[in-house]
Amino acid sequence: MSEKGLLKNPLATRRGVELLHSPTHNKGTAFTREERDLLGLRGLLPPRISSEELQVRRVMENLRAKSTNLERYILLAALQDRNENLFYRVVIDHLKELMPIIYTPTVGEACQKFGHIFRRPRGLYLSANDKGSLAEVMDNWPQRDVRVIVVTDGERILGLGDLGADGMGIPIGKLALYSACAGIHPTQCLPITLDVGTENPELLHDPLYIGLPQRRLRGQDYDDFIEEFVQAVIDHLPQAVLQFEDFANRNAFRLLKAYRDRHTVFNDDIQGTASVTLAGLLSALRLTGQHLKDQRVLFYGAGEAGIGIGDLLTSALVAEGMDEDEARTHSWFMDSTGLVVDSRDGLAEHKLRYAHPWPGTASLVEAIESVQPTALIGVSGQPGAFTREAVETMSKLNDIPIIFALSNPTSKSECTARQAYTWSDGRCIFASGSPFDMVEWHGHTFVPGQANNAYIFPGVGLGLIVSEATRVPDELFAVAAHALAEIVTERDLSMGRIFPSLARIREVSAHIAVAVARRVYELGLSRTAPPEDLEQAVREAMYDPEYPDYTTSLPVMMAP
């Protein structure tokens, strides 16, 4: 930041109530007697001292007593605001139960109601009113060692559309997963919302909406705003990985293209989704006994997620020795008009490379019959798009059809797990974007795979941070996909689960981080020399939410 901004934040030790109001350092009832005497806390807390385990038990008891997941989301947000160590201890110890609450699908509902459930600000809001002074506004952020930023402009939140500044729930949730799943310290995480307006009429007329009640910046004004923001990051937070999140298709591809060679930038919707999907395909092939070169994939949806997967699949096939033009013919797309073919006029630029010379069709079933795919991947946000007839047609063409219904949240899924297994006579390999319960079918128990980006982006981010990467080539997401696929066990596959258990997520993230960091060093994209023991360096970089002993180390923090 600017010299003025750095000087106005001298290091200071907080005591008493001020310490209890610092979520980074607060231990609540876990402060020991010695710490209470040393830090002026005697009398400010109930006298009985609790262990962290008892605090976790209390949180979970209260959480499970809530009647809705939105109420649970609010409770966890309040805990994060007052005691971050305890928040992450709770999340890590109960990740499978709580991930659907702190992220998809509950975060979608939370964003839809964000202005109505708003309690306390978290992260930075950079608005159109700040244009021309974004660096100065960013100076107000108290932490200086920022290593990862998740930023959104709120225009395409999950499958829910334009939620404007209410989309802040997404960067907050993503960064919570960075810390919980990959051990990136919370103080090194910065959620940012770029409030450039909204086209959502309900929000524009909602007095409780937290953003600017004005139409979105477009054209050159928007581009100038984004340029000013990215340049501020490059100048003042050069070590920060910048993750674009939930930008509309019209901007997502071109912003990634514009900035990927200038900074450590990636787009999780394009590249992270592609990586976890490729990993799912690689795992599925262990069940089908086929090879990647044998696959023909039909994507229902031709937005940033679908095209991102197609691009990574193409790269993976090229890496196996296939010509790029031939590799592209293994990916086929359907959009709202029908099959993407070369005879169609007015196709968006990102679709042109997958517009094959082929007869067009507007029906999914007809497209399946025509293209004869081995895998059907839904990235459309259109609930119920995978009809019984579509799944049955896939099952006629393939002994083991691969069916991925990836749209989020659950309400937007192209089909349910039960529908996929039932309509395919229990033969399909199924994965979804949001979680589904186990399915009992004719005496067999299927455990649906969740193609959750949380398997990928935390580990990729950790690898980029440890290696101090300067750029993020697509190749790193292929590396991550292979690393994720190889950690899937035979026991996972025997249950139909093509991703590891979420209980192993920190192990998975560390494994991916090592693979990504190693490739960064091999490509010469690091600011530093590789450590002697990369695996140890990754493990040592991972934050574990254990309470510190303040009798040996005082809580030193930034003064406001």
Is 351 tagged catalytic? no
Helices (H), 11-83: 16-20, 33-38, 52-65, 69-82
Query: What number of CA atoms fall less than 13 Å from residue 15's CA on the CB side?
Result: 9
CA-to-CA separations, 195 to 46, 61, 192, in angstroms, rounded = 42, 37, 9
Is 103 tagged catalytic? yes
Question: Which tokens in the block code for residue 4?
Answer: 């003025």
Phi and psi, residue 322, nearest 5°: -85, 145
Which residues lie below 8 Å from residue 398, measured CB to CB, with a gap of 6+?
A: 374
Question: Which tokens in the block code for residue 465?
Answer: 């941070």
> For residue 450, with 0-12 CB atoms within 10 Å meaning exposed, 13-18 middle and 19 or more buried, which class applies?
buried
By DSSP bridging, strand 297-300 and strand 265-267 are: unpaired
Name the nearest CA neighbour of 498 among 456, 460, 451, 454: 451
Helices (H), 66-168: 69-82, 84-93, 95-102, 106-112, 114-117, 134-138
Q: Which of 27, 174, 351, 412 is catalytic?
A: 174
Q: Which of 73, 88, 103, 259 is catalytic?
A: 103
| One-letter identity of residue 110 | A
Name the nearest CA neighbour of 252 among 129, 353, 350: 350
Cβ–Cβ < 8 Å for 265, 256: yes
409: preceding bond cis by omega (within 30 degrees): yes
By DSSP bridging, strand 11-13 and strand 556-558 are: antiparallel
Count of helices and strands (H, E) across the chain: 26, 15
Active site residues: 103, 174
